[in-house]
Homo-oligomer: A and B are copies of this chain.
Amino acid sequence: MFPDLLPAKNGEGVTMTFLQEVIDMLLQYVVKTFDRSTKVIDFYYPNELLQAYNWDLSDQPQSLDGILLNCNTALKYAIKTGHPRYFNQLSTGLDMVGLAADWLTSTANTNMFTYEIAPVFVLLEYVTLKKMREMIGWPGGSGDGIFSPGGAISNLYAMLIARFKMFPEVKEKGMAALPRLVAFTSEHSHFSVKKGAAALGIGTDSVILIKADERGRLIPSELERRIIEARQQGFVPFFVSATAGTTVYGAFDPLVAIADICKKYRIWMHVDAAWGGGLLMSQKHRWKLNGADRANSVTWNPHKMMGVPLQCSALLVREEGLMQSCNQMHASYLFQQDKHYDLSYDTGDKALQCGRHVDIFKLWLMWRAKGTTGFEAQIDKCLELAEYLYNKIKNREGYEMVIDGKPQHTNVCFWYVPPSLRNMEDNEERMSRLMKVAPVIKARMMENGTTMVSYQPHGEKVNFFRMVISNPAAAHQDIDFLIEEIERLGQDL
């Protein structure tokens, strides 16, 4: 314990010095983050890192100097996720206004459950969700929604609410009272749809994966065929999760055709736009989400394409009040009905969570700072860079594209084929050797610390690189660097 830090008497001086020292360290880290001459990562294997420092927790306190050293060490081994050459995840970048807003959020240290204890943040959630619904195209921005801890939970909410809408008795009676439900989503959709079905007691077997076309888009006629088939088998189709921006290919499912089918068979239409939602900001690219306005619910993660610091995920719901009916438990110690203000602002009972982290302020403040046009410019730039990469490698020696055609999102999927494999016949041996290329190059990237990009197998396709660009700091030179670095690290394989 530090008897000398606030709230200790006369603790102000020591506290201000300590906090300022931490901030100086963070400001240095911010500057290094954007400096291309620093490493993205100073990689250590787990065992090495465990031994590199004493991380143990003990009975006795450490000195303030020790604490500053801890902070320094944590930053030394951290990944610079805002580095212009960090391409590893859908969430990259470090927005300065977003960062400032997150610092403020930590300092305000409150909880979203009631207006009583988070008046500003509750209002900003209201204002921002409405704006997001307007951008989806729901008349007057009407509807409902919530910020949740990530896209997987937003998708789980959608499935939960869809089930409740069709069978409200499920809340009290459970699945035992219901017929056998089935949900549909493309074979390229995010794993959270299945994870949600498992958790909700629906079961992964009841998630029917619909075939996608060669570019990763759900095939509507296949969806309809499987819906009819499921009905004939006595199942009740209740939920279709279309994807706007798949995780690997960046594909946009044909939402209008899916909406027609959902309407015809009276099935809840959800759009998982966790990754693609940001494109609604762009006049040039928003057509890819045409039909999202006909959805019953939409997941949209501003922490991905919009560069908002983690975490920031919204679930938007077209019908107002449904979330509340589905999840409310009327806890009398939180949601007292005889409060002195308008209770419609006590939104906490809509959530599965009780306490809920404040994720709204960073998004709201960034939106104020950039305006919609600022988000548009940074998103358009990322898509332009993806096309630049695609054009640069599509005919380049040593590269094979996983899918044909211009990228739909910023995902560019490709194999790097080292010289030793270039003249081999396309047989099993080549496949099994090609499979090992990306993991080795990735390991070398991390050991060198120069860049990071993800790889994975997909269906029958062996390991390939999945490049994604969501960091406004990335520039043409970083794309050029990535290509040269892959070649440098992989040419001997």
Contacts and interface: CB of A to CB of B under 8 A. Distances in A.
Interface stretch (A211-219, A256-264, A327-335, A415-423): A327-335
A369 B2 contact: yes
A61 B374 contact: yes
A431 interface: no
Contact of A201 (B103, B149, B170, B457): B170
Given A2-B369, A120-B74, A177-B203, A108 B81 contact: yes
21 contacts: A1-B370, A1-B378, A2-B96, A2-B369, A5-B97, A15-B96, A26-B104, A57-B127, A61-B368, A70-B365, A71-B100, A79-B108, A149-B357, A170-B198, A171-B198, A175-B203, A176-B176, A199-B352, A332-B457, A333-B456, A340-B439
Interface string A49-67: 1100001111111101011
B373 A6 contact: no
A162 interface: no
Interface stretch (A82-90, A382-390, A396-404, A480-488): A82-90
A455 B136 CA distance: 40
Given A174-B201, A372-B58, A106 B110 contact: no
A493 interface: no
Interface stretch (A151-159, A285-293, A314-322): A151-159
Contact of A57 (B18, B170, B364, B446): B364
Contacts of A94: 107, 109
Contacts of A107: 26, 29-30, 75, 94, 99
**Taking the full assembly, how many copies of this chain does it contain?**
2
A482 to B, nearest CB: 17
B201 A202 contact: yes
A55 B123 contact: yes
Contacts of A352: 152-153, 156, 195-196, 199
B19 A6 contact: no
Given A74-B121, A176-B203, A190-B354, 6 more contacts: A19-B96, A19-B99, A67-B365, A175-B201, A192-B354, A199-B327
